[in-house]
Structure 1
Amino acid sequence: MHDGYEIDDDPRRIPRDTVWEWLSTEAYWARWRARADVDAQLDAAWRVVGAYRAGTDELVGFARAASDGVAFAYLADVFVVADHRGQGIGKRLMRAMIDDGPGAGFRWVLFTADAHGLYEQFGFAVPDATAMVRPPALPAIA
């Protein structure tokens, strides 16, 4: 516990209703997902990390990762509830997920339109020549 918040990577503690509510209303990257999609992603997650108001199960921040468990991880669905921003929760989530977690030596990737400054503090950078990305919803190939 630190500054009135605690970080926990126990997936059983994650309040799925809270994650669904935030992702379906606040996340520019996730509002299209159905509840069943979010539940499936949580079920299949390699790791989840939650930030909670100290002494409660009130989720105020969240991060999810998918991984092969050996060398590669994808960081997704990182958020901090608006009323709790500016408290260092995002940094603590990233530290727990990346630096202090079992994937500390992995190659990590994420897609984001914001918070670049936060992610750069944890080693994220513009991809090099070894990275390629296939965008979603490609038109049908004739």
Structure 2
Amino acid sequence: VHERLVLYKRLASVHDAEELTQLQEELIDRFGHLPDPARALLDTHRLRLAARPLGIMKVDANADSILLQFVPQPPIDPGRIIQLIQTRRDIRLAGENRLRWHLSPSGGVSSPAEARAANVITFFNLLK
């Protein structure tokens, strides 16, 4: 239990993608192939790191849509959000400081969690 808590603390102290990759490599070196829950934890932290510079404070992703909630003054060009809303029928404002992307059904081969993570990253990239 102690070792697990130490690893959780180390994960919480990671502040960029490079540090996270180093921690992941260290975990693989120490423990071998990571189980799915451990990989999911690292992927979740990777998404958290990617969301921070965009001013995203919450991500709610499911099979049908992704909802992003922004901090009150996000560092994103408002014109970019307006452009996305005007050019894409699947992206809409969902209240104050929230943006929703309605997803098309896909028949991909990845797991649902991997597909959601990939869609979240795609949404982040649309905002840049």
Query: TM-score by structure 1 length?
Result: 0.24
Higher gyration radius (CA)? 2
Identify the structure with the greater strand proportion. 1
